[in-house]
Amino acid sequence: MLIVQSHSEVNAVEWNAFMVHHSSTPYPQTTIHAEYVQQCYGALPLYLTIQSERAELRCLIFINKKRGTVTWYCGPVIKGTSVVISIFVDKFLRWITQFGLPIRNASCIEMAGLPAILTSNEMLNHASQYNITSSLATLIKIRLDCNIWEQAIYRTGGKKRKIKNIVLKSARDGVVVSSSSEFLFQEESVLYMEKYKTLIELGFQRNAITQQDASSACKILLSQDKRGDSKTFFAFKGKDVLACLNFAIIGSEAYLRKLVYDDRSYLSNSGVTYHVMMTAAEWAQSQKLKTLNLTSVRLSKDEKTRHMRQYKTRFGGTIFPIYEFSSVKND
Protein backbone atom coordinates (compact mmCIF):
# COMPACT_ATOMS: atom_id res chain seq x y z
CA MET A 1 0.00 0.00 0.00
CA LEU A 2 1.29 3.46 -0.94
CA ILE A 3 0.10 6.56 0.95
CA VAL A 4 0.98 10.19 0.23
CA GLN A 5 0.08 12.92 2.74
CA SER A 6 0.47 16.67 2.77
CA HIS A 7 1.98 18.58 5.69
CA SER A 8 -1.47 19.41 7.06
CA GLU A 9 -2.62 15.78 6.81
CA VAL A 10 0.28 13.96 8.45
CA ASN A 11 0.26 13.12 12.17
CA ALA A 12 3.40 15.01 13.19
CA VAL A 13 3.87 13.31 16.56
CA GLU A 14 3.55 9.80 15.12
CA TRP A 15 5.67 10.55 12.03
CA ASN A 16 8.49 12.11 14.05
CA ALA A 17 8.43 9.26 16.58
CA PHE A 18 8.87 6.78 13.71
CA MET A 19 11.92 8.67 12.44
CA VAL A 20 13.52 8.96 15.89
CA HIS A 21 13.04 5.23 16.48
CA HIS A 22 14.15 3.95 13.07
CA SER A 23 16.70 6.49 11.78
CA SER A 24 20.18 7.31 13.07
CA THR A 25 19.77 10.82 11.60
CA PRO A 26 16.07 11.58 12.12
CA TYR A 27 15.87 15.38 11.77
CA PRO A 28 15.96 15.68 7.94
CA GLN A 29 12.93 13.38 7.77
CA THR A 30 10.79 15.15 10.40
CA THR A 31 7.98 17.67 10.23
CA ILE A 32 10.32 20.17 11.93
CA HIS A 33 12.59 20.04 8.89
CA ALA A 34 9.58 20.18 6.56
CA GLU A 35 8.46 23.47 8.12
CA TYR A 36 11.95 24.91 7.81
CA VAL A 37 12.46 23.92 4.16
CA GLN A 38 8.95 25.06 3.21
CA GLN A 39 9.56 28.51 4.67
CA CYS A 40 13.20 28.94 3.66
CA TYR A 41 13.10 27.42 0.16
CA GLY A 42 9.41 27.56 -0.70
CA ALA A 43 9.36 23.80 -1.36
CA LEU A 44 6.26 21.63 -0.92
CA PRO A 45 6.69 18.74 1.57
CA LEU A 46 5.04 15.39 0.83
CA TYR A 47 5.05 12.45 3.22
CA LEU A 48 5.33 9.08 1.47
CA THR A 49 4.57 5.75 3.14
CA ILE A 50 4.88 2.32 1.51
CA GLN A 51 3.59 -0.55 3.64
CA SER A 52 3.53 -4.33 3.57
CA GLU A 53 2.56 -6.83 6.25
CA ARG A 54 6.05 -7.00 7.74
CA ALA A 55 7.77 -3.78 6.75
CA GLU A 56 7.33 -0.07 6.08
CA LEU A 57 9.16 2.62 4.12
CA ARG A 58 8.74 6.32 4.83
CA CYS A 59 10.30 9.36 3.23
CA LEU A 60 9.76 13.11 3.41
CA ILE A 61 9.94 14.48 -0.14
CA PHE A 62 10.26 18.10 -1.26
CA ILE A 63 8.84 19.38 -4.54
CA ASN A 64 10.29 22.75 -5.49
CA LYS A 65 7.97 24.04 -8.21
CA LYS A 66 9.94 27.27 -8.66
CA ARG A 67 13.17 25.42 -9.41
CA GLY A 68 11.42 22.44 -10.96
CA THR A 69 13.19 19.85 -8.79
CA VAL A 70 12.45 17.07 -6.32
CA THR A 71 14.69 16.07 -3.41
CA TRP A 72 14.87 14.40 -0.01
CA TYR A 73 17.44 14.18 2.77
CA CYS A 74 18.71 11.14 4.73
CA GLY A 75 15.99 8.87 3.41
CA PRO A 76 14.12 6.73 2.79
CA VAL A 77 13.81 5.19 6.26
CA ILE A 78 12.77 1.54 6.38
CA LYS A 79 11.68 -0.65 9.29
CA GLY A 80 11.11 -4.38 9.17
CA THR A 81 12.56 -7.33 7.31
CA SER A 82 15.44 -6.77 4.89
CA VAL A 83 13.97 -9.05 2.21
CA VAL A 84 11.54 -6.31 1.10
CA ILE A 85 14.09 -3.49 0.86
CA SER A 86 14.70 -4.06 -2.85
CA ILE A 87 10.97 -4.07 -3.61
CA PHE A 88 10.36 -0.96 -1.51
CA VAL A 89 13.24 0.97 -3.08
CA ASP A 90 12.03 0.15 -6.58
CA LYS A 91 8.50 1.36 -5.72
CA PHE A 92 9.97 4.46 -4.11
CA LEU A 93 12.06 5.43 -7.13
CA ARG A 94 9.24 4.64 -9.54
CA TRP A 95 6.96 6.97 -7.58
CA ILE A 96 9.62 9.73 -7.43
CA THR A 97 10.32 9.66 -11.16
CA GLN A 98 6.63 9.89 -12.09
CA PHE A 99 6.81 13.66 -11.49
CA GLY A 100 9.18 14.02 -14.44
CA LEU A 101 11.27 16.44 -12.37
CA PRO A 102 15.05 16.18 -12.01
CA ILE A 103 16.27 14.91 -8.65
CA ARG A 104 18.56 17.46 -7.00
CA ASN A 105 21.15 16.32 -4.41
CA ALA A 106 18.89 13.82 -2.66
CA SER A 107 20.63 11.75 0.00
CA CYS A 108 20.44 8.36 1.70
CA ILE A 109 20.89 7.76 5.39
CA GLU A 110 24.55 7.48 6.39
CA MET A 111 26.03 3.99 6.13
CA ALA A 112 26.44 3.39 9.86
CA GLY A 113 24.62 0.05 10.22
CA LEU A 114 23.45 -2.96 8.24
CA PRO A 115 19.90 -1.68 7.41
CA ALA A 116 21.30 1.64 6.14
CA ILE A 117 23.99 -0.13 4.10
CA LEU A 118 21.41 -2.46 2.55
CA THR A 119 19.11 0.45 1.70
CA SER A 120 21.98 2.46 0.18
CA ASN A 121 23.10 -0.53 -1.89
CA GLU A 122 19.58 -1.10 -3.20
CA MET A 123 19.29 2.59 -4.06
CA LEU A 124 22.50 2.26 -6.07
CA ASN A 125 21.33 -0.94 -7.74
CA HIS A 126 18.02 0.56 -8.86
CA ALA A 127 19.18 4.12 -9.61
CA SER A 128 20.60 3.33 -13.04
CA GLN A 129 17.26 1.87 -14.13
CA TYR A 130 15.73 5.31 -13.63
CA ASN A 131 18.66 7.30 -15.10
CA ILE A 132 19.71 8.50 -11.66
CA THR A 133 23.39 9.13 -10.95
CA SER A 134 25.09 8.83 -7.58
CA SER A 135 28.05 10.43 -5.83
CA LEU A 136 29.66 10.14 -2.41
CA ALA A 137 29.41 12.75 0.32
CA THR A 138 30.09 12.75 4.04
CA LEU A 139 28.06 13.26 7.20
CA ILE A 140 29.95 14.51 10.26
CA LYS A 141 28.71 13.60 13.74
CA ILE A 142 30.16 14.52 17.11
CA ARG A 143 29.50 12.21 20.03
CA LEU A 144 28.55 14.15 23.12
CA ASP A 145 29.23 11.39 25.66
CA CYS A 146 32.94 12.25 25.79
CA ASN A 147 35.24 15.23 26.31
CA ILE A 148 34.28 17.43 23.37
CA TRP A 149 37.19 19.79 23.99
CA GLU A 150 39.79 17.03 23.68
CA GLN A 151 38.59 16.01 20.22
CA ALA A 152 38.27 19.60 18.92
CA ILE A 153 41.71 20.09 17.36
CA TYR A 154 43.22 21.34 14.12
CA ARG A 155 46.62 21.19 12.46
CA THR A 156 48.79 24.09 11.41
CA GLY A 157 52.50 24.18 10.74
CA GLY A 158 52.59 20.41 11.15
CA LYS A 159 51.40 20.62 14.76
CA LYS A 160 48.15 19.78 16.54
CA ARG A 161 46.46 22.76 18.13
CA LYS A 162 43.42 22.88 20.39
CA ILE A 163 40.32 24.85 19.42
CA LYS A 164 39.93 25.58 23.13
CA ASN A 165 42.82 28.06 22.89
CA ILE A 166 41.09 29.88 20.02
CA VAL A 167 37.87 30.05 22.03
CA LEU A 168 39.70 31.40 25.08
CA LYS A 169 41.25 34.13 22.92
CA SER A 170 37.79 35.01 21.59
CA ALA A 171 36.54 35.35 25.16
CA ARG A 172 39.52 37.54 26.07
CA ASP A 173 38.65 39.75 23.10
CA GLY A 174 35.30 40.42 24.77
CA VAL A 175 33.08 38.05 22.81
CA VAL A 176 30.12 36.64 24.75
CA VAL A 177 27.83 33.86 23.55
CA SER A 178 24.16 33.82 24.55
CA SER A 179 21.27 31.59 23.55
CA SER A 180 17.82 32.58 22.37
CA SER A 181 16.23 31.24 25.57
CA GLU A 182 17.71 34.19 27.46
CA PHE A 183 15.51 36.69 25.59
CA LEU A 184 13.02 34.50 23.72
CA PHE A 185 9.85 36.09 25.04
CA GLN A 186 11.20 39.61 25.22
CA GLU A 187 11.15 42.38 22.64
CA GLU A 188 14.89 41.87 22.08
CA SER A 189 14.18 38.56 20.32
CA VAL A 190 12.87 40.39 17.25
CA LEU A 191 15.91 42.70 17.22
CA TYR A 192 18.37 39.83 17.48
CA MET A 193 16.62 37.80 14.80
CA GLU A 194 16.81 40.86 12.54
CA LYS A 195 20.57 40.86 13.06
CA TYR A 196 20.60 37.13 12.34
CA LYS A 197 18.72 37.83 9.11
CA THR A 198 21.28 40.47 8.14
CA LEU A 199 24.13 37.99 8.61
CA ILE A 200 22.26 35.34 6.60
CA GLU A 201 21.77 37.84 3.78
CA LEU A 202 25.47 38.70 3.86
CA GLY A 203 26.24 34.99 3.61
CA PHE A 204 23.86 34.64 0.67
CA GLN A 205 25.62 37.52 -1.12
CA ARG A 206 29.06 36.11 -0.33
CA ASN A 207 28.17 32.67 -1.69
CA ALA A 208 25.85 33.81 -4.53
CA ILE A 209 22.83 32.02 -3.00
CA THR A 210 19.53 33.16 -4.51
CA GLN A 211 17.08 30.31 -3.84
CA GLN A 212 16.59 30.92 -0.10
CA ASP A 213 14.60 33.53 1.83
CA ALA A 214 16.43 34.93 4.87
CA SER A 215 13.38 36.64 6.37
CA SER A 216 11.22 33.51 6.21
CA ALA A 217 14.09 31.42 7.57
CA CYS A 218 14.41 33.63 10.65
CA LYS A 219 10.66 33.60 11.27
CA ILE A 220 10.50 29.81 11.32
CA LEU A 221 13.66 29.55 13.44
CA LEU A 222 12.17 31.90 16.05
CA SER A 223 8.87 30.00 15.99
CA GLN A 224 10.63 26.67 16.47
CA ASP A 225 12.84 28.13 19.21
CA LYS A 226 9.70 29.12 21.13
CA ARG A 227 8.31 25.58 20.78
CA GLY A 228 11.58 24.04 21.94
CA ASP A 229 12.23 22.36 18.58
CA SER A 230 15.40 24.38 18.03
CA LYS A 231 17.81 26.74 19.76
CA THR A 232 19.71 29.75 18.43
CA PHE A 233 23.09 30.97 19.72
CA PHE A 234 24.52 34.47 19.25
CA ALA A 235 28.10 35.67 19.63
CA PHE A 236 28.20 39.30 20.81
CA LYS A 237 30.87 41.93 21.24
CA GLY A 238 29.15 44.82 22.91
CA LYS A 239 25.95 45.37 20.93
CA ASP A 240 27.35 43.85 17.74
CA VAL A 241 26.27 40.35 16.70
CA LEU A 242 29.30 38.68 15.11
CA ALA A 243 28.04 35.14 14.53
CA CYS A 244 24.88 33.07 14.89
CA LEU A 245 23.91 29.45 14.57
CA ASN A 246 20.78 27.40 15.06
CA PHE A 247 20.40 23.76 16.09
CA ALA A 248 17.26 21.73 15.48
CA ILE A 249 16.56 19.28 18.31
CA ILE A 250 14.86 15.92 17.82
CA GLY A 251 15.22 12.79 19.92
CA SER A 252 18.82 12.65 21.18
CA GLU A 253 20.21 14.64 18.25
CA ALA A 254 21.10 18.30 17.71
CA TYR A 255 21.35 19.19 14.01
CA LEU A 256 23.24 22.25 12.77
CA ARG A 257 21.32 24.83 10.73
CA LYS A 258 22.40 28.26 9.48
CA LEU A 259 25.84 29.03 10.89
CA VAL A 260 26.59 32.60 9.76
CA TYR A 261 29.13 35.27 10.64
CA ASP A 262 30.01 38.88 9.92
CA ASP A 263 33.04 38.77 7.61
CA ARG A 264 33.33 42.56 7.78
CA SER A 265 34.46 42.34 11.39
CA TYR A 266 38.13 42.07 12.33
CA LEU A 267 37.03 39.30 14.70
CA SER A 268 35.47 37.18 11.97
CA ASN A 269 38.55 34.97 11.65
CA SER A 270 39.72 35.05 15.26
CA GLY A 271 37.63 32.25 16.70
CA VAL A 272 34.12 33.67 16.96
CA THR A 273 32.50 30.83 15.01
CA TYR A 274 34.48 28.26 17.02
CA HIS A 275 33.36 30.04 20.19
CA VAL A 276 29.66 29.92 19.33
CA MET A 277 29.89 26.32 18.04
CA MET A 278 31.60 24.96 21.16
CA THR A 279 29.21 26.86 23.45
CA ALA A 280 26.31 25.26 21.59
CA ALA A 281 27.99 21.85 21.86
CA GLU A 282 28.42 22.30 25.62
CA TRP A 283 24.75 23.20 25.91
CA ALA A 284 23.72 20.10 23.91
CA GLN A 285 25.92 17.98 26.16
CA SER A 286 24.31 19.50 29.27
CA GLN A 287 20.90 18.48 27.91
CA LYS A 288 22.07 14.84 27.70
CA LEU A 289 21.83 14.82 23.92
CA LYS A 290 23.97 12.10 22.36
CA THR A 291 24.94 13.48 18.96
CA LEU A 292 25.80 16.81 17.38
CA ASN A 293 25.20 16.54 13.65
CA LEU A 294 27.20 18.97 11.51
CA THR A 295 25.30 18.00 8.32
CA SER A 296 26.60 16.64 5.04
CA VAL A 297 29.61 17.91 3.11
CA ARG A 298 30.30 16.90 -0.47
CA LEU A 299 33.65 15.58 -1.61
CA SER A 300 34.03 18.30 -4.25
CA LYS A 301 37.48 19.84 -4.65
CA ASP A 302 36.24 23.39 -5.14
CA GLU A 303 37.65 25.86 -2.63
CA LYS A 304 34.39 26.67 -0.82
CA THR A 305 33.49 23.01 -0.23
CA ARG A 306 37.04 22.13 0.77
CA HIS A 307 37.13 24.91 3.37
CA MET A 308 33.72 23.84 4.73
CA ARG A 309 34.92 20.25 5.05
CA GLN A 310 38.12 21.35 6.82
CA TYR A 311 36.16 23.59 9.19
CA LYS A 312 33.63 20.95 10.25
CA THR A 313 36.17 18.18 10.75
CA ARG A 314 38.10 20.34 13.22
CA PHE A 315 35.47 19.67 15.87
CA GLY A 316 36.32 15.97 15.88
CA GLY A 317 33.58 13.40 15.62
CA THR A 318 33.06 10.61 13.11
CA ILE A 319 32.82 10.98 9.35
CA PHE A 320 30.20 8.73 7.73
CA PRO A 321 29.84 8.14 3.98
CA ILE A 322 26.48 8.86 2.36
CA TYR A 323 25.25 8.65 -1.21
CA GLU A 324 23.68 11.58 -3.02
CA PHE A 325 21.46 11.16 -6.06
CA SER A 326 20.69 13.42 -8.99
CA SER A 327 19.04 13.13 -12.38
CA VAL A 328 18.15 15.20 -15.40
CA LYS A 329 14.63 16.13 -16.44
CA ASN A 330 12.69 13.35 -18.12
CA ASP A 331 11.36 14.18 -21.58
From 132, 90, 239, select the one nearest 175 (Cα to Cα). Answer: 239
- Helix/strand/coil for 293: strand
Displacement of CA 305 from its chain's centroid (Å): 16
Helix (H) or strand (E) holding 291: strand 291-298
Query: Could you report the average pLDDT of every consecutive run of 10 residues in the chain (331 residues)?
Result: 97 98 96 96 96 94 94 94 89 95 94 88 93 92 91 80 91 89 65 83 79 87 92 88 92 92 65 92 94 82 74 85 87 52
Contact indicator for 91, 2 with CB cutoff of 8 Å: yes
Upper half-sphere CA count for residue 311 (Cβ side, 13 Å):
18
Location of each CATH 3.40.630.30 domain in the chain: 142-320
Collect all residues with Cβ–Cβ distance below 8 Å to 307 and sequence separation of at least 6.
none
Determine the pLDDT at residue 187: 62
Other C-beta atoms lying within 10 Å of the C-beta of residue 153: 15
DSSP class per residue in 195-225: HHHHHHHHHHHHTT--S--HHHHHHHHHHHH
Phi, psi of 328 (to 5 degrees): -100, 165
DSSP class per residue in 157-210: TTEEEEHHHHHHHHHHTT-EEEEGGGTTTSTHHHHHHHHHHHHHHHHHHHTT--
Determine the pLDDT at residue 148: 92
Whether the model pTM is above 0.85: yes
What stretches of the chain show up as alpha helix (H) in DSSP?
12-22, 31-41, 85-97, 114-127, 148-151, 163-172, 188-206, 214-227, 272-286, 303-313
Instruction: State how far the Cα of 58 lies from the Cα of 47, in Å rounded to an integer.
Output: 7
Instruction: State how far the Cα of 304 lies from the Cα of 306, in Å rounded to an integer.
Output: 5
**CATH classification code of 142-320:** 3.40.630.30
Integer-rounded Cα Rg, in Å, for the chain is 20
